[in-house]
Amino acid sequence: PPQHRRQAQSATQYVELIIVADNREVSTSFYRALNIRVALVGLEVWSDQDKCPVTQDPFTTLHEFLDWRKLKLLPTRPHDNAQLVSGVYFQGTTIGMAPIMSMCTAEQSGGIVMDHSDNPLGAAVTLAHELGHNFGMNHDTPERGCGCRVTSDRGGCIMTPSTGYPFPTVFSSCSKKDLVASLEKGVGMCLFNMPEVKVLYGGQKCGNGYVEEGEECDCGELEECLNPCCNATTCSLKAEAVCAHGQCCHECQLKPAGTPCRDSSNSCDLPEFCTGASPHCPGNVYLHDGHACHNVDGHCYNGICQTHEQQCITLWGQGAKPAPGICFERVNSAGDPYGNCGKDSKGSFAKCEAPDAKCGKIQCQGGANRPVIGTNAVSIETNIPLQEGGRILCRGTHVYLGDDMPDPGLVMAGTKCGNAMMCLNRQCQNVSVFGVNECSGKCSGRGVCNNNKNCHCEPHWAPPFCDKAGFGGSVDSGPMRLADHGGVAVGVLVAVLPFLGAGLIVCVKRKTLGGLLFTNRKNAMEKLSSHLNGTEGVRWLMLICCCLYRSVGTNRPSCPAQSPAQSVYRVSPPRKPTNLPQTHNTGIFKVNVPPRPPPATAFSLSLSLSLSLSLPFRQMMLINTTGTQLRF
């Protein structure tokens, strides 16, 4: 079925951030305009020694920090993103670096920031800039024609390629478009859960936008609160209100269980439904890493279906497609800026081994005459002679997007590189490392495994193992409502009313057939008329209508009894559909979901951010704690 676009602009998103820095270095105010709340859930200060190598080479420092985050920090302190604020001055003009479109990934959701100014706003703006790259925002270059409501002499916008005093504090129109495009592609799958308020830094406060202990709601400061269900002064619900926040709260009341609250955004995402007990939509879930997608042309990874074809279209426009395998093998074996498998820990270009060639620089054919992603992209064309004669054209790109962004011309992690193989850490690895087949095996052939390793069942089957009749979905997503039964019942009844007469005649005919056969036409019609006008005819009509409604409805009146022993109608569990096979093996799971009505209230997208600070001990006081308090 067609995928539905998420209401990316109306969805508040929460970034759970861990900072290794002074918490006054960062500010949530920059991202509030984008409906994103950055919650500081962790803070480390490396005052004695660094926990990973921090050098003047920004690329090496970024590589080492992201490795440390994945192996040491993430397993012990769950979060969405981590930023390192360093007192070491980087080489050249670089003051920060972060991978683009990497939010929520275990390998690359983070960045490094140099504490380059006595004004704490400088580091805060740089952190917001690098966080923007994680979200998929590119630089505001002149050729993009970005709209910025602040002139350059007053600081301009946050995603400008270079910055200085006065520092920018707003995002441009290009940044907003980039963010929406990234969210629609599936970037930021981890941001739809509310952060755990017990781990937030800064102390409890009514008006901070987070419902904490003793509060029934929190709609922010009094001047910014527009919530009709919440008293902004006391953080308590108004009279008659049951809820105030959440996608499952409508006009201060809970939505019924099974109401869709978050559609699937792409072929690797799964829908979520209200539980009827909470105002919040269940946490976002998606297909287990390694699951087939795009008609088995790709594999899911972090909720995104990455393919070479999609990346070629991104770089070269419509009509572009992946080049033959020989292009990847020949070009990426060079180990130079034009063909490589990324950089090693020392910052040198690495050659691709033959099995890993499709995980290096992307090689394409067709499309536009030049890359469509900006003027900083250089076309690299290679002609490879074939043994049987002729040549094959391979088109690669080298994209210079600034000192703070790695080359996007490299194949994205999670891209399919062979049968049941995907690119991980620039190597072509078997998807079996994720255990997706073992996980889906417990779903009785009637569902798939989600990222929490739980079964997401097809309609008519119940979690946790899809082996019993039910309403579909998973223990994580909430129950799937199959249809609006009342509306279906009315529609069906209206459609079949013309046939009720014929059915009634057949039923009555069994008792009257003998008499009707041995009387004249006039007597036959009189007898039939007496049956229809009598109490028995009325009882038959009610019985047919009730039993028809019984087959399509959920909340039904009791049916008239056919015999004294069957006087009460009891609701039975949903029956297993007879047209479904008992088991089936499929690589792609599709869920038919009723269209979602326009959201009445914005739901929250949460970014949990972890910030790390590496400062030489003698430079610890460089952070100006007397300036404006900036908290992420």
User: Do 590 and 480 touch, CB atoms closer than 8 A?
Assistant: no
What does DSSP say about strands 230-231 and 96-97: parallel, antiparallel, or unpaired? unpaired
Inter-CA distances, 327 with 274, 332, 385, Å = 49, 8, 11
- Mean pLDDT along residues 461-476: 93
Question: Does 485 count as an annotated binding residue?
Answer: no
Long-range contacts of residues 69-78, Cβ cutoff 8 Å, at least 24 apart: 69/109, 69/110, 69/610, 69/612, 70/106, 70/107, 73/18, 73/610, 73/612, 74/106, 77/18, 77/41, 77/42, 77/610, 78/16, 78/608
Q: What's the pLDDT score for residue 622?
A: 26
Q: What's the pLDDT score for residue 582?
A: 37
Angle at 321 between CA 320 and CA 326, to 5 degrees: 130
Q: What's the pLDDT score for residue 286?
A: 93
**Lowest mean pLDDT, pick from 25-34, 436-445, 538-547, 618-627:** 618-627
Instruction: Return mean pLDDT, the chain.
Output: 75
Q: Taking 50 as the threshold, does the pLDDT of residue 44 lie above it?
A: yes
What whole-number distance in Å separates Cα of residue 399 and Cα of residue 390?
Answer: 29
Q: How confident is the model at residue 406 (pLDDT cuts 50, 70, 90)?
A: low
Specify the residue for token string 């308590």: 236
Written as six digits, the tokens of 185 are: 């592609």
For the chain, give every residue range classified as CATH 3.40.390.10.
Answer: 13-194+605-622
Burial (0-12, 13-18, 19+ Cβ within 10 Å), 147: exposed
Q: What's the pLDDT score for residue 39?
A: 82
Q: What are 263-302's pLDDT values in tens digits?
A: 888 889 999 999 999 999 998 999 999 999 887 789 999 8
Q: How confident is the model at residue 231 (pLDDT cuts 50, 70, 90)?
A: very high
User: Do 245 and 252 touch, CB atoms closer than 8 A?
Assistant: no
Top-level class of domain 13-194+605-622: alpha beta
Q: How confident is the model at residue 533 (pLDDT cuts 50, 70, 90)?
A: very low
Q: What's the pLDDT score for residue 547?
A: 42
Contacting residues for 19 by C-beta, under 8 A, at least 6 apart: 25, 26, 40, 42, 43, 44, 82, 83, 85, 609, 610, 611, 612, 613, 632
| 458 included as an active-site residue | no
Question: Does 456 count as an annotated binding residue?
Answer: no
Q: Which residue among 64, 130, 272, 458 is the active-site one?
A: 130
Q: What's the pLDDT score for residue 400?
A: 64
- Mean pLDDT along residues 467-479: 92
- pLDDT above 90 covers a percentage of the chain that reads 33
- Mean pLDDT along residues 450-471: 93
C-alpha atoms less than 13 angstroms from C-alpha of 123 in its C-beta half-sphere: 37
Q: Taking 80 as the threshold, does the pLDDT of residue 537 lie above it?
A: no
Q: What's the pLDDT score for residue 20?
A: 54
What does DSSP say about strands 272-273 and 260-262: parallel, antiparallel, or unpaired? antiparallel
Contacting residues for 396 by C-beta, under 8 A, at least 6 apart: 331, 338, 339, 361, 362, 363, 364, 379, 380, 381, 382, 409
Q: What are 349-395's pLDDT values in tens digits?
A: 899 999 999 999 999 999 888 887 765 677 888 888 887 778 899 99
What whole-number distance in Å separates Cα of residue 631 and Cα of residue 29?
Answer: 8
What whole-number distance in Å separates Cα of residue 165 and Cα of residue 352?
Answer: 43
- The DSSP symbol for 287 reads B
- Mean pLDDT along residues 613-632: 32
Question: Does 133 count as an annotated binding residue?
Answer: yes
Q: How confident is the model at residue 209 (pLDDT cuts 50, 70, 90)?
A: confident
